[in-house]
Structure 1
Amino acid sequence: MFDDSISGKGWDMGFRANMQHLRATRNMTQEQLAMLLGVSRQSVSKWEAERAYPEMDKLLRMCDLFECTLDELVSGDLTGRPGKAVAAVPRVEALQDVTGYDQAMRAFAWKAPLGLSASMMGIALAVLFSGFMPVQGAINQSYASVLAFLGIAVGCAFALPAIFDRREFRKAHPFVEDFYTADQKSQSRAAMAIGLVAGVGLILTGLAGAVVLWADVWTATATGLAFFSVGVFVMVRGRLLSLRCDLPKYNWTSLRSMTELQIEALDDEDLASRARRARRERNLLVVIMSAATVAGLIMIFIPALNRLFLLSWPIGGLVYVAIKALCSMRN
C-alpha cells in the first residue's frame, strides 16, 4: 500500500535501486525478504518494479534489517554501500529458514503439550493424594484441590506463553517459503507415527495398570491419569512436529485469519482471492460447529438423547468436510 505521508518527490528510482542493492548484498531472494517483512513475494516484486509501495511499518522494518535511515532508504543513494558478510544469507542451493520458523515451531511443539500434560499430571497427583490420606473430609479435598490447581498453573505457565509466542511469530511472518526437504518431511511423518504408537501404548499401559490396581480405586485412577498424561504429551508433540513441516497449511491458516483490511493490503489479486476463500471456509466451520454445540447442549436436556450429545461435534465435523468437498467439486 502507498503511504501518502512519504509520497511524491521522495519516491524515485532511489528507493528501487537501494532496495535491490541492499537485498543483493545480503544474498536475499525476494521470497526471503518477503518472509522477513511478513508480506508475500509478489508484494516485494511490485515494490522493486515500482508498481506499488510498502506501508510505513514495512519501511521501518526494512530500515532495521538493512541498518539505514528512512530518508536513506527512500530518497538517498545506498548503492555504493558494501554488504556485510555477517548479515548476508549463505549462498547455498537449498532453501533457507531465514525467519527462524523451525526453531519457533519446535519450541511450541515442546511447550504446548508439556503444559497440557502438566495439567493432567496435577490432577493425577491430587487423586493420588486423596487416596493416601486416611481420613476423607473437607481439609483433604482442599489439599487435593491445591495440587490440582498447581498442576494446572504449571501447565498454563508452559502452554500460554508458547501460544502467544506462536501467535506473534505468525503475525510477523504470515508467509513462509517451504524449505523442508522431502527427507525431512518423511522423517517427521515417521516420528509422528512412532509418537502415536508410543502414546497409545502408554495410555493402554495406564488402563491395564488401573485394572490391576482397581482394589485401590484412588491409586488406580491416579496411575491411569499419569500414563494418560504422558501418552498425550508424546502424541501431541509428535503431531505438532509433523505439522511444522506442512508449510502450505501454515500459509493457508495465515490467509484464513486475515481481516478484510489486511487482504486489501496484499497488493496481489491471486493471494487476496485465496485469502477470501480461506476466510469463507473458516466462517463456514465456525457456523457449523456453533450449531453443533447448540444441538449438543439441547440434547443434554432431552432424556432420550442425552447419552448421545457428544456425537453432535463429530457429526458437525463430517458436515463441514462434506460441504467443503462439494464446493471443491463445483469449483
Structure 2
Amino acid sequence: MSFRTNLQYLRAERHMTQEQLAMLLGVSRQSVTKWEAEKSYPEMDKLIKMCQIFECSLDDLVQGDLTDRDPVPVAATVPSGPATDVCGYDEHMRKYSKHVPTGVASFVLGIVGLVFFEETSGTPGFFNGGIASGWSELLGLGALFLGVLTGIGILVSSGMEHSAFVKAHPFIEDFYTEEERLQARRLLVKGVIAGLGSIFAGVMLCAFVERESGAGWAAAAVLFLLVAIGVWMIVYAGMMYDRIDIADYNRSAAEELEMEDIARIDVPEAVRDELRSARRTHKKIEAICGVIMLVATIIALTWLFMGPSLAGTTWDTIDAGHAAVDSPVSYFWLPWMVGGILCAIVTIVIKALDGD
C-alpha cells in the first residue's frame, strides 16, 4: 500500500480537506496535493506530525495498509464550512499581545524606581529621615536594572515562543469574522484613546505636583508611571488589532524563513523570488537596526555613568543639591528612544526602496 493511498484514506476518515491538513502541518495546500499525486514526499517532521494527527505509526503510514484497520472510535475531525482556528493562532497572539507591552512597560517602570530612589535621598519623612545618598544610588540603579532585565526577559522569551510558532505555522488561513474584526477595531480606538489619556494625565499631574509642592521627584515618578500604563494600553491594542491581519502574518512568516526553507515551498518561481527578496530586505533591516540600538545603548550607558564628569561636575555635587532631575544623567534613556525612532525610519525607507 502506498503512502498516497493511506493519506487519502485518513483524510477521508476524518472529513478533512487538503487545506485543513495543510494548516495543521504548517504547509501550503499545494504541498498536500503533490504528496497525494506522488510528485513529492513530505519531510520527516511533517510525517511525524501526521502520525500524531492520524494516531498511527510511521511505518504504517509510509509502508503499511491503514485502510484495513478498525475505524478510530473518536476520529479527530476538522469541521467543514468556514475556516476555523485549527492551529491555536488566536490564543497564541492574545498571549503575545500581552507579553510584549508588559516587557516594554518594565523598562519604563525601571526608570520610575531610579527617579524615586534618587530623588528621595535624604528627604525628611521617607524611611526614618531619608535614605543615605550612597544607598539611594544603589537602590535606584537596582530598580532600573531590575526593570530592564525583567523587560528583556519577557521580550526575549515571548519572542522566541512567537518565532517557534511562526516556523511551525508559516501559513494561516484567514478565519476571522466581520464581527471579530469590528471588535478589534473598537479595541484599537479605545486603547489608543485611553493610552494617550494616561500619558496626558501624567504630564498634567506632573506639572501640578511640581508647581504646588515642589516635589520634582514625585512629579517625575508619577509621570513615568502613567507613561508606562499608557504605553502598555497602546501597544496591546495595536497588537490585538494587527493579529486579525492574517495576510500580513503570512508575509511576515515568509520573512522569517531561511533561504533553504523558501526553496522548498511549493509556489511559482516568481513568488519564490519575491519571498527571497523579502527575506534579504528583512535581514538588511535587522543588521542596521541592531547597529543603531547597540550604539544607542553605548551612548545611554556612557551618559548614565560618565554624564556628571563629562559635564564638569560630580555625583557628590549632584547629590548635595538634590537636583538629579536636572542633572546630566536625567535623560540618559533618550538614546534608546531616538534609536527606536531611527529603526522605524530605516524600516520604512528600506522597504520602500526595495519595493520599487
Choose 240-249 or 183-192, whichever is displaced more.
183-192
Separation in 2 of the partners of 1:145 and 1:292? 24
**Normalised TM-score (structure 2):** 0.76
Is 1:58 aligned to 2:71, yes or no? no
**Residue of 66, 69, 72 corresponding to 2:60:** 72
Give the match for residue 23 of structure 1: 11
Separation in 2 of the partners of 1:273 and 1:224? 49
Mark the runs of 5 or more structure 2 residues left unpaired by the alignment.
Answer: 123-130, 298-334
Separation in 2 of the partners of 1:45 and 1:255? 21
Q: How many angstroms does 1:260 deviate by? A: 1.8
Q: Pick closer, same or farther for the CA change 1:261–1:84 going to 2, 3 Å.
A: farther
Q: How many angstroms does 1:254 deviate by? A: 1.3
User: Which secondary structure does the structure 2 equivalent of 1:79 belong to?
Assistant: helix
Choose 132-141 or 195-204, whichever is displaced more.
132-141
Q: Pick closer, same or farther for the CA change 1:283–1:110 going to 2, 3 Å.
A: closer
Give the match for residue 218 of structure 1: 217
Separation in 2 of the partners of 1:157 and 1:321? 29
**Residue of 76, 90, 96 corresponding to 1:87:** 76
Q: Is the 8 A contact 1:26 1:83 kept in 2?
A: no
Q: Is the 8 A contact 1:14 1:74 kept in 2?
A: yes
Separation in 2 of the partners of 1:313 and 1:95? 36
Q: How many angstroms does 1:47 deviate by? A: 0.6
Q: Pick closer, same or farther for the CA change 1:116–1:263 going to 2, 3 Å.
A: same
**Residue of 133, 150, 155 corresponding to 2:121:** 133
Matched to 1:165, the amino acid is: E
Matched to 1:253, the amino acid is: S
User: Which secondary structure does the structure 2 equivalent of 1:174 belong to?
Assistant: coil
Matched to 2:231, the amino acid is: V
Give the match for residue 142 of structure 1: 138
**Normalised TM-score (structure 1):** 0.82
Separation in 2 of the partners of 1:286 and 1:154? 23
User: Which secondary structure does the structure 1 equivalent of 2:266 belong to?
Assistant: coil
Instruction: State the aligned residue count.
Output: 303
Give the match for residue 241 of structure 2: 242
CA-based RMSD of the aligned residues comes to: 2.8
Separation in 2 of the partners of 1:116 and 1:174? 26
Separation in 1 of the partners of 2:75 and 2:172? 23
Following superposition of structure 1 onto structure 2, how do residues 313-324 of structure 1 map, counting pairs within 5 Å?
316-317=346-347, 319-320=349-350, 322-324=352-354
Separation in 1 of the partners of 2:291 and 2:107? 30
Q: Pick closer, same or farther for the CA change 1:56–1:190 going to 2, 3 Å.
A: same
Q: Percent identity?
A: 37
Separation in 1 of the partners of 2:67 and 2:96? 40
Q: Is the 8 A contact 1:202 1:230 kept in 2?
A: yes
Q: Pick closer, same or farther for the CA change 1:73–1:221 going to 2, 3 Å.
A: same
Q: Pick closer, same or farther for the CA change 1:126–1:281 going to 2, 3 Å.
A: closer
Is 1:188 aligned to 2:184, yes or no? yes
Separation in 2 of the partners of 1:293 and 1:279? 21
Separation in 1 of the partners of 2:153 and 2:259? 34
**Residue of 193, 198, 201 corresponding to 1:197:** 193
Mark the runs of 5 or more structure 1 residues left unpaired by the alignment.
Answer: 1-12, 298-306
The runs of 4+ residues in structure 1 deviating greater than 4 Å are 283-297, 309-315
Give the match for residue 252 of structure 1: 251
